[in-house]
Structure 1
């Protein structure tokens, strides 16, 4: 057997050629033929007594092809590992005319996409911004309004009054179709709310949507479900076909509410409740702020790390790996996105290797247990630990281990970003929660 690697001028594409002689595969083929002759059940012959010559005639070509394919797979894989080739995806066979009936020696070629070496930016060479969110009075008020509505008693009165919500179908005046289903809050309308007073189911109310919210595209998008672009383009009259009126009596701030929001006896006073609400809201904003910063880190790393990819091979490999799912035209259209994803994967792997980042099994189980507790709004107790661990173990075994791999990858991704956060300059910018929402809306 002889294996050669011919790199193209760009050093990113290569042809791997495997030359086989009869001596490379003959012994394995003969052994397989004898094995078949012992197991084959052919009419006219006792089990184990089928002549090898007959087995060769009936199955010889198939056995030859199987053995050569197996030999090729091991040889190519071994060559790549032995020579420490960093390849993209998998080797792709080059089409050729092979005559297995008459040839004894064969030459097989494989196209390789080679991944280049690259350097990560020096420590502190990249700067990112992080929003340091402060809780403003407006956001506090909105949070308590949401809690009062979510946990208050809701009724469906016959006619609407100030502060009620109208559930119905909204559409542009004069347009066909049933419109979009929404819940319109009369207390959030800046103008024209009087048109909805006394509204009953099946009433059709015509109003200027833009005027109703004083031209606030963010509010229009929020309450109608439109995209930000659609909301900004809103003009003229709209109609709301009322389906029902909803009125919510604000929930009382008592132990029953505290338990509903945070779990039984987690907080036992209004002061503790206020503190817990504030800390929970701030945790959410901190998490969102970190997510935005992490996206900045990824974008800045991609901008500052020079990686040249084997472009043509990558496109062909994407078509092959997604056969029946993606066309060459679709890959061409979205190639930049695929390239960014691959480059980030390479950067991430380099960070993992350079810093010897690892994920332990206990980390995966602990993370899954916390997610389960979070779904039921519960905190861990000694009594719960065994049963929650059982749920976690069962979840991680499902989908043939797919859930386990997903949790592993999620934790590893977090560790990579945590490592990079320590190597970039982070500028904290103070911003109110309301401004933060407005800045990142849509």
Structure 2
């Protein structure tokens, strides 16, 4: 067998595999001999079928199968030994009718080669790393939400600004009839609020759905309609009040603290505020780190320039999926996935250049910590090492879950490397201002 490669350019190559008769003949003869022992052909005793008849019936199929196996094994071995960084998979060049009666065969494969490039982590303009803090306003609002959640309902005769109103939305034509409990702050604009203030149980209020709620998703749940229906919905509904209540805030006492965090874990309002701040900022840190990872990724993709074997990859995409697609569909698919492919190559180079590795011990340790945190949520604060190891083993027996954890750890290590080596500036900001700055004031 002989394998040669011709580089078309820096990103494309053609590999030629020549297979000689001696590469496959012994294997083919052995398989046919085994077939002869088991062949069941009318007129001949088992094991006594003439070899010529066996070859005539099975020879070509066995030959094709063995040549294909040889071809794939040889190609894979060659790519590994030559350390070729290929994109996609080798594409066989179309061949007209192959003469399977010949003594040898030649096959050609197109290769798409990964480009060579350098990654510059230090951007001219600093990338912002947000340090999101829970300010007093946010903490006080969270405490009020907790007090409302654990407070008690007191019946009212008329609707006031802070009432909780239970009633039924109706529209006969659309077959809407849904019982909900609402508060006036969900409505958009003061006009709707005025319709409710002073109303009594049994009153019927007519409302237009267009612009009724601040968020269309609240309207969707209120009317119990689907997502597609609610957008642009402009009909009249009635709301029949059946119950009016006021929620009295729960006292900030030890009984409430114990309900929230367990006995004596928090013993004062000061400690409560500290705990709320700590828990909130842990969640904010995850969001801020994801934002930083997204921003660095975008910078790297936009500023790391290299060419790709686009024509080859487009052609490869035609047959890479479960269903074959045409050239136009493949072109569209390539255009959609090009940015992702570029980042995969950049990420792979950063991982190699910075020797970023995730070991099995890393994965097991991460799984143990994840399980420990989940058990703590259910009051199991001190699980034994054996319990953690047994559960972790079950979790990691799922290859998909093990792969997901490995990818998380790689992202964490990349993020740590970005913080160390990229041009990062830290900005302290409240969560409210973070949302406004990053996502717009919605």
The answer (yes or no) to whether the contact 2:158–2:244 under 8 Å persists in 1 is no
Query: Paired residue for 2:103?
Result: 104
How far residue 61 of structure 1 moved from its aligned partner, in angstroms, is 1.6
What are the superposed Cα offsets for residues 178-197 of structure 1, whole Å, 9 maximum, x if unpaired?
Answer: 59998753145562313124
Q: Which residue of 2 aligns with 1:437?
A: 435
Q: Which residue pairs with 1:406 in the alignment?
A: 404
CA contact (8 A) 2:207 2:239 kept: no
1:73 alignment counterpart: 72
> Does residue 368 of structure 1 match 2:367?
yes
- SS at structure 1 position matched to 2:88: coil
Pairwise CA distance, 1:351: 1.5
> Which residue is equivalent to 1:30?
29
Alignment of 1:272-283 (within 5 A): 272-283=271-282
The worse-fitting range, judged by mean Cα deviation, of 349-358 and 175-184 is 175-184
Residue 24 of structure 2: SS of its match in structure 1? helix
Equivalent position of 2:340 in the other structure = 341
Partner of 2:83: 84
Cα offset, 1:348, TM superposition: 1.2
- Match of 2:102, SS state, is coil
Instruction: After TM superposition, give the deviation of residue 405 of structure 1 in Å.
Output: 1.2
Say if 1:160 and 1:245, in contact at 8 Å, map to a contact too: no
The alpha carbon displacement at 1:311 in A equals 0.8
Aligned-residue CA RMSD (Å)? 4.0
Output the CA distance in 1 between the equivalents of 2:54 and 2:75: 30
- Rounded to whole Å, the distance in 2 between the matches of 1:166 and 1:38 is 85
SS in 2 for 1:435: helix
Distance 1:50 1:96, change over 3 A: same
Deviates more, 1:343-352 or 1:152-161: 152-161
Counterpart position of 2:112: 113
State yes or no: 1:314 paired with 2:313. yes
Who is 2:397 aligned against?
Answer: 397
Instruction: Report SS of the residue matched to 2:15.
Output: strand
C-alpha distance in structure 2 between counterparts of 1:125 and 1:206, whole Å? 55
State the match for 2:417 in structure 1: 419
Q: Aligned residue for 2:225?
A: none
- Cα offset, 1:158, TM superposition: 9.7
For residues 200 and 52 of structure 2, what CA distance do their matches in structure 1 show? 92
1:166–1:246 Cα contact (<8 Å) kept = yes
Query: How far did 1:323 drift?
Result: 3.0
What secondary structure does 2:206 align onto? Answer: strand
1:114–1:310 contact (8 Å) kept in structure 2: yes
Who is 1:216 aligned against?
Answer: none
Q: How many residues align?
A: 427
SS in 1 for 2:87: coil
TM-score scaled to structure 2, two decimals? Answer: 0.81
**Unmatched 5+ stretches in structure 2:** 222-227
1:216-255 mapped onto 2 (5 Å cutoff)? 219-220=214-215, 223-224=218-219, 239=237, 241=239, 248-255=247-254
Seen in structure 2, the aligned counterparts of structure 1 residues 118 and 44 have a Cα distance that, compared at 3 Å, is: same
Shift of 1:118: 0.8
Report the Cα distance in structure 1 between the residues aligned to 2:99 and 2:201, rounded to whole angstroms.
81
CA distance in 2, matches of 1:63, 1:156: 85
2: distance between equivalents of 1:261 and 1:349?
45
TM-score (norm 1): 0.81
Find the aligned partners of 1:19 and 1:368 in 2 and give their Cα distance.
49
Q: SS in structure 2 opposite 1:89?
A: strand
Structure 1 position 239, deviation (Å): 4.7
Structure 2 contact 164–181 (Cα < 8 Å) conserved: yes
Query: Could you say which residue in structure 1 is the equivalent of 2:224?
Result: none
CA contact (8 A) 1:21 1:106 kept: yes
**Counterparts in 2 of 1:62 and 1:133: CA distance versus 1, 3 Å:** same
Judging changes above 3 Å, is the alpha-carbon distance between structure 1 residues 156 and 423 closer, same or farther for their aligned structure 2 residues? farther
Matched, 1:289 2:288: yes
SS at match of 2:117: coil
Q: Which runs of 5+ in 1 are unaligned?
A: 214-218
Q: Report SS of the residue matched to 1:389.
A: helix
